[in-house]
Structure formats: structure tokens, C-alpha cells
Structure 1
Amino acid sequence: MTTGADATTCRRGLSTTVWILVLARAVNRLGAFTMPFLALTLVQDFDASVSESGYLLAAFGLATIPSRLFGGHLADSIGGKGTILIGLTGTATAQLCIAGSQTLSQATVAVVALGLMFEVYEPPSQSIIADVTSADQRPMAYGLFAAAMAAAGMGAGLLAALLASVDLRWLFVADSATCLVCAGVVAALLPRLRRERTRHAMKVKAWADRRLLSMLALGTVFAVIYLQVTIALPLTLTERGYSTSLVGVLFTLSATTMVLGRPLLARPRMRSLDDFHAMAVGYTILAGGLLLNGFATSMLGFGIATVIWSIGDLMLLGRVYTIVASIAPETGRGQYLAVYGISWGLAAVAAPLLGTQLLEHGGPRLAWTTLAALSLGLASAQPALRTRFRSPKAGLLRDSWYLS
């Protein structure tokens, strides 16, 4: 249910609430550049060994799983706005604790605390978007939400390079500041939604929904593939004789491609695709870019590969969250989105193991060919998913497979 303010629409018919969340997300993302430097900070500032830093990163990844579930539970019990504020202020506090730690033990506690707060923000923000949009608006809204992250990511890289040259700990201070600014935007501008509460709200059993579990399984595979861009790509570039600085260039190229490519999604032919068809196309394009990563030997080759897999990623943005939000009961969307979201926590543990083992035993060609094959497997699974999610009364037009 939405308030009168939520019903107010703006450009492209999206609720003002969506645009407020997009703005807050962009502000938050502008400072969210600490994770790639976390291991380096632990080694350089706290004298942790490389293996110890690896264990701490794994602990962080595991902590994000209950973080998502906690965020989903709070979103359905106290509301999305309050949960977002808890997550952002908790993340800011943990970031400051890392920056202010004096010993490795103190940093360890702060890193785990950061993991426990890090994903609380996600389920309520995703749930609010579902609450204030219609089924046919959600792919655009979720895609816009993700595109804001990509756009802000271009500036985040430059800001990270500046602060990292001064002191790594300032990265965490800056990230904490952007979390608090984001919280201020949410507190001042985001309306508190009024959601009807019924007995059904207390009986949501997301783990019993086989459709959701199917999405979780496939989502984990996708997250493992996606994370290889930050794990296997730098190692591939090094193996091919390139500086790791090229990674930043390729990430900027990817973000630029996703921002400039958004008008493609508004074309009538693209808008006519239902979510499962669009994901099948996206996974296929993604596979092409991943495969090219394994055989590229020049900067141009890696640049073309980046553009291709970024277009595939653009096709996928928002689709899966649209599906998950649509199968969830209205009063249980936070829990459903949280359960799906732990795919990223599971992938954070599995992805480093898979990527490094493939590179060690078969080199870049085996690694990226395997990842491309997994992506094609996800594409081929979409028709079966489409059938499984089919409404008993109609075909899979976007409104027809909304199952409550």
C-alpha cells in the first residue's frame, strides 16, 4: 500500500520514492570503494598475513548472509525506512571502527560487524521499490537502481585513487561519511509507507517456496560468475603481461557502457520481451564477453570483451528482482528478497575458490570458457523457469505471471 505522496509520479511514470532511493543509492555508492582495499589494509596497517586477510574476507562474506536475512525480517516487521536507516548507520559505525582500530583483533571484530550490517540496506530498499511500482514498471525501476550504482562507480574509482594515495584508512572514513549522507537523504525525503498488516504477514515462509529456491540456486551461479570480474580478470591481465591499472580502466568502461546503453532498454522490441526472455538474451551476450576474455591478448580485445559482457549485464539488471518481488506476498517481500539476496553471500565464499583453481590448473582460457559455459547454462534454463512460473490462467505476459 502506498501513501498519497508515493502515488505522485514523475518522469517516466515512476514514483518519486523510486527516484529518492536512486539518489540515495548513488550517494552511497560514491563512497563504497573500500572493499577492494580491505585485504590490503589488513596486511599493510595491521600486519596480517595474506592468508589471514583471506580468512577475514571469507568471514565478512559469511556475515553478509545473516545481514540480508535480518534486513528482510526488519523490513517486513518495522518497515523499510527504519530498516534502511539502521543498516546505513550500522555500516557507517563499523567503517569508522575499522579506521580507528589499533590492533588486528580490533580490526577483526570491526570487519565481522561490517559484514553483519553491510547488506541490511538491500532488502528494504528493493521491497519499497516493489511496493510503489506496478509489475510492468519494476524492470525499469530496478534497472535504474542498479544503473545509479554504475554511474556513481565511475566517480568512486577516482575518489578511491585519490584517498588511497594518502592513507588507506581514509577510505573507510569517506565511506562512513557517504553512508551517513545517504541516511540523511532517506530520513529527510523518503516517506514512511503504510502497509496493511494482516495475519498472513506473520505466516510468510519464504524457504518453503520452491520457486524462490529455484531463483536462489540460479542466482548463486550468476553471482559466482559475476564476481569473477573482480577476481579472475585482474589475474588474467597480469598473466597476459598487463598492469593491474588496466582493471580500473576496464571497470570504468563497463560502467560507461551500462550508463550509455540504458536507452536500448526503452526500445519497443526490448520492452516487448518478458523477463525470462530478456534474461536468456542477457546471459547469452554475457557468455560471449566472458569467452572473449579468455582469448583476448590485446587491450582492444579486453575492451571489446568488457563492452559485450557489460551489455549482457545491462540486459539482466532488475529482471530477477522483478520476478522475486512478484512471487512474494505483499507483506513478505522483504523476506523473499532477502532470501534471494544471500546468493551473493554464498558466492562470496565460492567464487574465489572457483576462479583461482580454474586459473591455476588451466589458465585463462579454461577459466573463462568454463564461466561462459555456466552463463549459457543459465540462458538455457530460462524457458524451463518460464514454464514453472506460468500462471494457470494465462501466458507469461509480465502481469499474467504475478502469483500471490
Structure 2
Amino acid sequence: MRTMRGWFQDTTGGLPKIFWYLWAGTLINRLGSFVLVFLAIYLTLERGFSATQAGLVLGLWGVGGAIGTTVGGTLTDRWGRRPTLLTAHLGAATMMLALGFARPLWAVALGAFLLGTFAEAARPAFGAMMIDVVPEKDRLRAFSLNYWAINLGFACAAILAGLAAEVGYLLLFAVDAATTLATALIIFFRVGETRRASTTAARKGGPAPAGALRTILADRVFLGFVVLNLFSALVFLQHISMLPIAMGESGLSPATYGSVIALNGILIVAGQLFVPRLIRGRSRSHVLALAAVVMGVGFGLTAFAETAWFYGVTVLIWTLGEMLNSPSNATLIAELSPAALRGRYQGTFSLSWQVAGATAPVLGGLVREQSGNATLWLGCAAVGGLVAVAHLVSGPARERRATALRTTTAPLVPAVALDLPAPEAAEAAATAPAEPLPATRPSPATIGQ
């Protein structure tokens, strides 16, 4: 009992209050994330759209998400984390209801596009706010806790969505909108702005440093990491598009696919909180390389699966890789993001997921059609191996870049994270050491290393 209590304290203790408000908002939002789970079924069975039309709607959702992450990252740095989050959540809740009431194809397509834009615009602001309020030493377990909440909420949502759909599909949209609005209310009442102004001009509402896009495009270390994440995501997202098709060709029902894929969420909920202690102090490059290999092996074994239990084993294997990958990815992106450009760096990283979401089904379908099912899954294994080697090769340069940013940037002390009354908080913010602006270009000493 004492050991369990100590583990619980090590896992959850000492994190700022704002983190727990954000964590609660994540859990509530994900508990109601019904629409994306059932959207394809709703469009084809309930609304009578063809598979091509449903694919168009889902594709526009992805296009909107790509735009949302880009715009959201810019607004996060220029406008602030809190107003960006509030606008994104309120817009998403509104568009969720609008999509539920939309009838013509053009209205459904437009609603999906705008919903994707608003929903994904929140991602960079949320990531930047988490980095703002959680000290570097606690970020690994903080991101693991947040990832655990995402999967707990999603696992419950998949079950609740099935029950809600029996009542009526409009209920899916209404509940999803309500939980999104609830998250906005938590942010409005309990979470203040966490961005710290870097200069006097910025404190007066001035723009973020000029040349932000130039800085990102010149940051080859960061962009290399984004590209590696893109390839990993292309493999990982095959479980949404090609895995159900493969299981169907094996004579397994959609219900069986649902049960098998549920193992992903169950394993993450059961084991994710133990991951920080497992990987603490280990080389992140080695952890990311191992994660890529494990995911590659899991997806590669799908080439030989024919029965439900075999498919279940493959899901459990690649889920272990996902569990290792997620917290290491999140902490590394936090350390590679210059403080004044955190929103845009978060947005650029999120963009890799949006691109993968739009292209993974197309590429997977083309490979299956041209070369066969086995080639697709064995190709996923090969990509995982190549990504692992790339992580080992590029890892030292990433760590040098993270060290350089740590030594040239004073730690953030957002007033809202101090839990002080307004006058004392204002004084603390005014007396906190100034945070230097990043150079408009990365240091020549660290470029390309």
C-alpha cells in the first residue's frame, strides 16, 4: 500500500493547479467526442451518402484541421493562449450543432471543414499552455497524464456513442457540443493567460517576433523531427483506414473490429501512467527508436493475421510502441520550441498529423490495390525500422538544440501559475527576470547538427 501511495504521489503530485484544470477539460471533452467516431457511419447509413461523398466530407475535415493548426499556432503566439482556446472551443461547439442539423451535401461538407478548423486550432494553444505552466522536470509525467485522460475519455466515448446513436444521431452532435462548451467554461472561469510577454512592446499587445516562419523553415533539426513524426503517423493511422478493411476480408465483422481496436484504449488506460517511471532518465532517441520498431513490428505482423485473436495481438504490440512514443514526443517538442514561438512550433508539429490523416488512407489504399495486403503491412514494418534508425542518427543534434535553448532562455513564470491574488501576481510578473527573444534564425552553431 505504501509503495502504491508513493507511486501515485510520484505520478500526480506537485503539478500546478492550471494543469489539472486543463486535464479535466481534456477528459470532459474526450468523454463526449462522439462525432468523429461515428461520422462515416452516420453519413453513409443515416444520411445515405455514398462512400465517395463520405470520404470527401472526412477529407475536408482534415483540410480544415491543417488550416486550423496553422492559424491556431500563429494566434497562440500573437493573441494569446487563452483567447485562442476559448474561440476555438466556442467555434467548435457551434459548428458541431450546425453539422448535426445540416442536410445538403454542400452544407455537411462546409460544416465538416469549419469544424475541423476550429477543433484543431485549439491544439497548438493547449500544447503551449501546458509547456508554460508545467516545469521542465515534470513535463514527462504531465504529458503522460494528459495522454491517459485522452484515451480514457475516448474509450468511454466509443461505448457511450453507440448507446446515444440508438436514441438518435442528433444526440451525438448535441452531447459533443455540450462537452466542448463545458471545456470552454473551465478555461473561462479557472484558467488565465499563461503567455509571458518577452518585451515591453509585447506586454502592450505587440506582435510576436518577426520572421517566425523563416525561423521555423531554417530550423532543420526541428523540421527533421516533424518529418519523422509524419512517417510514424502514416504507419500508425493505418489502424483507422486499412485495418478494418483487412479484418473484413478475413471474414470478421465490424463489431469484431470494434472489440479488437478497443484493446488499444484499454492497454493505454491500464498502463500509460507507469510509462514515465519506466523511461525516466533514458535516452529519448533510444526510446523513440524502440517505439518505432515496436510499432513497425505490430503493424507488420498484421500481414499474417487471419483470426480475431491474432489481430488483437498485433494491436497490443503497436499500442506498446504508441505508449512509449507519445510522452517522449511531447517533451521533446516542448524543449525544441523557442518560448516566443511555442504556438507556431506546436502548430507545425500538429500539421504533420493533419497531413498524415489526409494521406494515410490514400497511400494505404493504393499500396493494397497495387501490391496486396501483405505488402502494405510489411511496408509499415520497414518504415518503422527506417524511422528508428533516423531517430538514433538525429537524436544527438536534437539534444544539443534542446540544451542550447535551455541555456539561452530564462524559465517562464506566468503570473497565473503562481496561484497568487491579483496584486501579488502582477508584482511577481513585473519583477520576474526578462526572457530574451530568440534569434530570428537558429544559432549557426546548432543548425543542421
**TM-score > 0.5, shorter chain as reference:** yes
C-alpha change, 1:131 and 1:274, in structure 2 (3 Å) is farther
Residue 433 of structure 2 is matched in structure 1 by none
Letter matched to residue 360 of structure 2:
A
Residue 213 of structure 1 is matched in structure 2 by 223
Asked if 1 retains the 8 angstrom alpha-carbon contact of 2:66 and 2:351, the reply is: yes
- By how many angstroms is 1:242 displaced? 0.8
Give the paired residue count: 393
C-alpha change, 1:356 and 1:10, in structure 2 (3 Å) is closer
Please list the CA deviations of residues 202-236 of structure 1 after superposition, one character each: whole Å capped at 9, or x if unmatched. 22332332222112211211221121111111111
Distance 1:318 1:392 in 2: 19
Matches within 5 A, 1:31-70: 31-70=32-71
Residue 117 of structure 1 is matched in structure 2 by 118
Asked if 1 retains the 8 angstrom alpha-carbon contact of 2:11 and 2:141, the reply is: no
Asked if 1 retains the 8 angstrom alpha-carbon contact of 2:19 and 2:133, the reply is: yes
2:313 is paired with a residue of what secondary structure? helix
2:196 is paired with a residue of what secondary structure? coil
Residue 13 of structure 1 is matched in structure 2 by 14
Letter matched to residue 343 of structure 2:
G
Matches within 5 A, 1:305-344: 305-344=314-353
Distance 2:244 2:48 in 1: 24
Which of residues 338, 354, 358 is equivalent to 1:349?
Answer: 358
Letter matched to residue 379 of structure 1:
A
Asked if 1 retains the 8 angstrom alpha-carbon contact of 2:293 and 2:321, the reply is: yes
- By how many angstroms is 1:50 displaced? 2.0
C-alpha change, 1:296 and 1:125, in structure 2 (3 Å) is same
Distance 2:402 2:175 in 1: 52
Distance 1:266 1:119 in 2: 27
Residue 6 of structure 1 is matched in structure 2 by none
C-alpha change, 1:387 and 1:11, in structure 2 (3 Å) is closer
What's the Cα RMSD here?
A: 2.5
Matches within 5 A, 1:258-297: 258-267=268-277, 270-297=279-306
Distance 1:46 1:263 in 2: 41
Please list the CA deviations of residues 287-321 of structure 1 after superposition, one character each: whole Å capped at 9, or x if unmatched. 22112222122222122211111111000112223
Letter matched to residue 268 of structure 2:
M
**Comparing 200-209 and 296-305, the one that deviates more:** 200-209
Letter matched to residue 298 of structure 1:
T
- By how many angstroms is 1:240 displaced? 1.0
C-alpha change, 1:330 and 1:111, in structure 2 (3 Å) is same
The alignment status of 1:28 with 2:38, answered yes or no, reads: no
Distance 2:252 2:172 in 1: 26
Which of residues 223, 235, 258 is equivalent to 1:225?
Answer: 235
C-alpha change, 1:402 and 1:212, in structure 2 (3 Å) is farther
Residue 5 of structure 1 is matched in structure 2 by none
Residue 82 of structure 1 is matched in structure 2 by 83
Residue 109 of structure 2 is matched in structure 1 by 108
Asked if 1 retains the 8 angstrom alpha-carbon contact of 2:64 and 2:113, the reply is: yes
1:245 is paired with a residue of what secondary structure? helix
Letter matched to residue 261 of structure 1:
G
2:253 is paired with a residue of what secondary structure? coil
C-alpha change, 1:239 and 1:81, in structure 2 (3 Å) is same
C-alpha change, 1:315 and 1:402, in structure 2 (3 Å) is farther
The alignment status of 1:256 with 2:266, answered yes or no, reads: yes
The alignment status of 1:361 with 2:354, answered yes or no, reads: no
- By how many angstroms is 1:365 displaced? 2.0
Q: What percentage of aligned pairs have identical amino acids?
A: 27
C-alpha change, 1:46 and 1:105, in structure 2 (3 Å) is farther
Letter matched to residue 61 of structure 1:
G
C-alpha change, 1:391 and 1:303, in structure 2 (3 Å) is same
Distance 1:178 1:69 in 2: 24
Distance 1:125 1:32 in 2: 17
2:136 is paired with a residue of what secondary structure? coil
- By how many angstroms is 1:276 displaced? 1.6
Residue 5 of structure 2 is matched in structure 1 by none
C-alpha change, 1:393 and 1:102, in structure 2 (3 Å) is closer
C-alpha change, 1:270 and 1:399, in structure 2 (3 Å) is farther
Residue 244 of structure 2 is matched in structure 1 by 234
Larger radius of gyration: 2
- By how many angstroms is 1:263 displaced? 4.3
Letter matched to residue 124 of structure 1:
A
Asked if 1 retains the 8 angstrom alpha-carbon contact of 2:336 and 2:401, the reply is: no
Letter matched to residue 365 of structure 1:
A
Distance 2:271 2:254 in 1: 26
C-alpha change, 1:56 and 1:262, in structure 2 (3 Å) is closer
Residue 209 of structure 2 is matched in structure 1 by 202
Asked if 1 retains the 8 angstrom alpha-carbon contact of 2:93 and 2:180, the reply is: yes
Please list the CA deviations of residues 1-44 of structure 1 after superposition, one character each: whole Å capped at 9, or x if unmatched. xxxxxxxx993322222222111111111111212322333334
Asked if 1 retains the 8 angstrom alpha-carbon contact of 2:148 and 2:273, the reply is: no
Letter matched to residue 282 of structure 1:
A
Distance 2:251 2:245 in 1: 10
Asked if 2 retains the 8 angstrom alpha-carbon contact of 1:389 and 1:401, the reply is: no
Asked if 2 retains the 8 angstrom alpha-carbon contact of 1:42 and 1:104, the reply is: no
Please list the CA deviations of residues 235-293 of structure 1 after superposition, one character each: whole Å capped at 9, or x if unmatched. 111111111112221232111111211243243x5212132221111111112211222
Q: List alignment gaps of at least 5 residues for structure 2.
A: 1-9, 203-207, 411-437, 439-449
Please list the CA deviations of residues 56-92 of structure 1 after superposition, one character each: whole Å capped at 9, or x if unmatched. 2212211111100111111112221221111111111
Residue 192 of structure 1 is matched in structure 2 by 193
- By how many angstroms is 1:399 displaced? 6.8
Letter matched to residue 375 of structure 1:
G
The alignment status of 1:171 with 2:181, answered yes or no, reads: no
1:32 is paired with a residue of what secondary structure? coil
